[in-house]
Amino acid sequence: MDPRVREHAETIVDHSIDLQPGDNVVIQMPPVAEDLSVALHELCGDRGANPVRLHWSERAERAYLRAAGEDAEFETPEHALALYEAADATVVVRSGPNVTELSDVPPATIGAHKRATRPVTDARLETKWCLTQYPTPAHAQLAGMSTEAYENFVWDAVGLDWAEQREHQDRMVQLLDGADAVRIRSGATDVRMSVAGNATLNDHGEHNLPGGEVFTAPVKESVEGTVHFDMPVYRNGREIRGARLTFEDGRVVDHAAEQNEAVLTGILDTDEGSRYLGELGIGMNRNIDRYTYNMLFDEKMGDTVHMAVGNAYPETVGDENERNESAEHVDMIVDMSEESTIEVDGEVVQRDGTFVFEDDFR
Amino acid sequence: MDPRVREHAETIVDHSIDLQPGDNVVIQMPPVAEDLSVALHELCGDRGANPVRLHWSERAERAYLRAAGEDAEFETPEHALALYEAADATVVVRSGPNVTELSDVPPATIGAHKRATRPVTDARLETKWCLTQYPTPAHAQLAGMSTEAYENFVWDAVGLDWAEQREHQDRMVQLLDGADAVRIRSGATDVRMSVAGNATLNDHGEHNLPGGEVFTAPVKESVEGTVHFDMPVYRNGREIRGARLTFEDGRVVDHAAEQNEAVLTGILDTDEGSRYLGELGIGMNRNIDRYTYNMLFDEKMGDTVHMAVGNAYPETVGDENERNESAEHVDMIVDMSEESTIEVDGEVVQRDGTFVFEDDFR
């Protein structure tokens, strides 16, 4: 086993989910991540935690969803719900032998299934959860990289000094927390929103590993303007390119995409909440220096912002504000490296990717 | 995918667990059985059942158990228990890439973990459950067979005409049901027990696939005599050979083995119930014509009987009798093909493997 696998497992257990003796843990991963599973089980045994492994197989998922058909009426799987309701911690390892495995499942079926399983997702988010990545040849291929180069990329991003990163990101949190108006401009993008009353969180590798962003929730009906997402969105094996969303009173009233617009439409039509933003995030992890078609990494890239349609994380929404609820949460990225600004309450806090608190800000 | 995999899945779903719309199903299997998992998920989607997959990995299990150590105090994993308590049906697919994966886990650790997880096992046995096999190179190797020959062996055994088999076996059920004294003699084996008040069941491929036995529970304290198990017991990667148990008042008072006696001792020392018999079974599946070091098949072989120390199946124990309870259930086989008899209430019902209701009985 590569020694970085055990280091990765230690970061998950000690930093991300803060595993305690007696914790009931669910580890959900595909077979290809077996080494990481073994390392995690070793730590569970060492710490006196109780692991249950779920097998995430997109081949099986595809077979199930296609057989259920386009008109399927899915039920909430009560046994999966009971499992997560009794769990203290969850580790989801993203991976798999073929990232396009779900490419021939009708988007409507995927949407219907997501709606039915939302209580399960919600219960999982009530545990100490961590979503992480195991490097596989399929994900290397998606990124256009050799497997070894991709392994280095993943383990470098995961192996960051998280204490130092937290401090760096905290400077951006200070700028957003307590602020009201945010305006983001870049190319065809010009969007305004309020974040008043909502909390800005510092993602330093807890729920997401790698971490490396600060994020908050827009006030639900405050979003106005147009966003052109100039980086692709890779979704259920399909690539949405050039997505463009227009917001009025927070709601997406117009949308288009240069490629796979129907997939975008499927996402927006999932439920009422999937037409509202649930997240505004600012990518600050400069160890992630390339786009790899993998949102867990891409949204953390330096010089980017991302917005997610769909579910808002409860911890970002203030008591006075309505939380946007949805079975969806789809992040989309805007490149901020050139001719771009982020303004907070009228003041430019980032220009062309450089923050106001950095030396080369002008 | 081999078409026999889909046939196997159909037998599981339609015959073994009688899957109904809305059933919450748990499918527990190692990655190597992926084809069967895909076929089962297809059928779940088709029938409107809700699958959850558990990943059975002995590599991870080994890492967990070894890290927990010999003195580990395991807890019942409440989340696993909740999962099974809310499940309607369970399919456990036995398989794996290396059958000796647990060979360097201390037997005491395995025993302690089994005790702690017994409520989970009990909850699983309350569902409509099926234990079956996926043919892998590792199991072929264990049996000393080529992978293709082993695949044929497994799918032939699984693909039996179960209606016909049920009828054949029912003749033996009639002889045992309502009977009292059973005596089994073969070589060094001479053991007597009562089955009075207990029920004899006809295993025609429901809980076990393949099926092919009739089985009951001895009255707990009635077992007297010595059994020499002349077929090996393959247990957690170790082979117990020549096991010999001596019973007084139902309890094992003396035991020995020609090889791996310590493993046998570990089994017997699991708990109080692991020193009593929980099952007497008669193998009647003549499609299983060779010993393959796999109890799921071996105990069904024609011309054999088997006895299990440990837990008795509740459905075999009459209301008037005490059920033997244990975290263990270990089957051991006696070859009955030569110089052997089964007597029921003083009458020989099988001689040298041939039943009294068969033409060539003498």
What would the pLDDT profile of A152-207 be if each residue is shown by its tens digit? 999 999 999 999 999 999 999 999 999 999 999 999 999 999 999 999 999 999 99
Nearest to A37 among B43, B48, B57 (CB): B57
Tell me: do A112 and A38 sit in the same domain.
yes
pLDDT at B292: 94
CB atoms within 10 A of CB A226: 13
Q: What is the CATH number of the domain that holds B113?
A: 3.40.1830.10
Query: Taking residues B337-360, what's their average pLDDT?
Result: 95
Per the CB < 8 Å rule, is B84 touching A79? yes
pLDDT at A235: 78
- B362 falls within a domain: no
Nearest CA-CA partner of A187 in A47, A317, A339, A323: A339
Tell whether the model's pLDDT for residue A291 goes beyond 70: yes
pLDDT at A166: 94
Last residue of a domain, one of A105, A133, A158: A158
CA distances from A256 to A23, A299, A326, A334, B209 (A): 46, 21, 21, 15, 53
Contacts of A79 in chain B (CB under 8 A): 24, 26, 50, 52, 82-84, 86-87
Tell whether the model's pLDDT for residue B237 goes beyond 80: no
Per the CB < 8 Å rule, is A60 touching B43? no
* Burial (Cβ within 10 Å: 0-12, 13-18, ≥19) of residue B1: exposed
What is the crossing angle of helices B107-116 and B261-268, to 10°? 20
Tell me: do B134 and B265 sit in the same domain.
no
- B324 falls within a domain: yes
Tell me: do A249 and A101 sit in the same domain.
no
Tell me: do A255 and A330 sit in the same domain.
yes
Amino acid letter, A209: L
Contacts of A65 in chain B (CB under 8 A): 45
Nearest CA-CA partner of A52 in B134, B72, B81: B81
Query: Taking residues A134-138, what's their average pLDDT?
Result: 94
Query: Taking residues A117-121, what's their average pLDDT?
Result: 95
- B360 falls within a domain: no
Is the C-alpha dihedral spanning A233, A239, A243, A247 positive or negative? negative
Tell me: do B39 and B148 sit in the same domain.
yes
Tell me: do A304 and A170 sit in the same domain.
yes
Tell me: do A185 and A227 sit in the same domain.
yes
pLDDT at B107: 85
- A360 falls within a domain: no
Query: Taking residues B54-67, what's their average pLDDT?
Result: 94
Q: How far is A13 from chain B (nearest CA, A)?
A: 14
Look at A102-106, A151-155, B211-215, B272-276 and tell me which has the smallest mean pLDDT.
A102-106
pLDDT at B238: 80
CA distances from B299 to A45, A282, B215 (A): 34, 62, 10
Last residue of a domain, one of B125, B140, B158: B158
Tell me: do A151 and A261 sit in the same domain.
no
Tell whether the model's pLDDT for residue A39 goes beyond 90: yes
Q: How many CB pairs under 8 A join A and B?
A: 165
- B361 falls within a domain: no
Nearest CA-CA partner of A168 in A345, A300, A9, A307: A300
Tell me: do B111 and B182 sit in the same domain.
no
pTM: 0.82
Tokens of B53: 């997959």
Tell me: do A125 and A207 sit in the same domain.
no
Query: Taking residues A37-66, what's their average pLDDT?
Result: 95
Per the CB < 8 Å rule, is A52 touching B85? no
Highest mean pLDDT out of A94-108, B232-246, B300-314: B300-314
CA distances from A351 to A191, A336, A354, B78, B353 (A): 16, 8, 5, 51, 87
pLDDT-derived band at B235, boundaries 50, 70, 90: confident
Nearest to A57 among B24, B53, B79 (CB): B53
- A362 falls within a domain: no
pLDDT-derived band at A236, boundaries 50, 70, 90: low
Q: How far is B44 from chain A (nearest CA, A)?
A: 6
- Average per-residue pLDDT for chain B: 95
Query: Taking residues A134-149, what's their average pLDDT?
Result: 94
* Burial (Cβ within 10 Å: 0-12, 13-18, ≥19) of residue A71: exposed
CA geometry: angle at A289 spanning A288 and A292, to 5°? 75
Last residue of a domain, one of B105, B140, B158: B158
Query: Taking residues A85-99, what's their average pLDDT?
Result: 94
Tell me: do A114 and A193 sit in the same domain.
no
Query: Taking residues A69-89, what's their average pLDDT?
Result: 95
Query: Taking residues A84-96, what's their average pLDDT?
Result: 96
In A81-168, the DSSP E strands lie at: 89-94, 128-133
pLDDT at A70: 87
Rounded Cα distance between A338 and A312, Å, is 29
State the total domains in chain A.
Answer: 2
CB atoms within 10 A of CB A88: 19
Contacts of A83 in chain B (CB under 8 A): 52, 79-80, 82-83
- B126 falls within a domain: yes
Nearest to A44 among B38, B43, B64 (CB): B64
Nearest CA-CA partner of A215 in A98, A154, A295: A295
- Closest-approach residue (CA) in chain A for B54: A54
Residue B94 pairs in a beta bridge with B133
Query: Taking residues A311-336, what's their average pLDDT?
Result: 95
Per the CB < 8 Å rule, is A54 touching B51? no
Mutation site, A36, A46, A79, interface B, largest B CB count within 10 A: A79
pLDDT-derived band at B236, boundaries 50, 70, 90: low
- A169 falls within a domain: yes
Rounded Cα distance between B337 and B304, Å, is 7
Query: Taking residues A63-72, what's their average pLDDT?
Result: 93
pLDDT at A88: 98
Q: How far is A135 from chain B (nearest CA, A)?
A: 18
Mutation site, A44, A83, A104, interface B, largest B CB count within 10 A: A83
B253-260, long-range: CB < 8 A, 24+ apart = B260/B235
Per the CB < 8 Å rule, is B67 touching A46? yes
Tell whether the model's pLDDT for residue A303 goes beyond 70: yes
Rounded Cα distance between A50 and B100, Å, is 23
ipTM of this predicted structure: 0.78
Rounded Cα distance between B326 and B298, Å, is 22
Give residues with Cβ within 8 angstroms of A164, minimum separation 6.
Answer: none
**HEC profile for B309-350?**
EECCCHHHCCCCCCCCCCCCEEEEEEECCCCEEEEECCEEEE
Domain with A275, as residue range(s), is 162-355
Q: How far is A65 from chain B (nearest CA, A)?
A: 6
Tell whether the model's pLDDT for residue B116 goes beyond 90: yes
Tell me: do B211 and B114 sit in the same domain.
no
Amino acid letter, A279: E
Tell whether the model's pLDDT for residue A143 goes beyond 70: yes
Query: Taking residues B27-56, what's their average pLDDT?
Result: 95
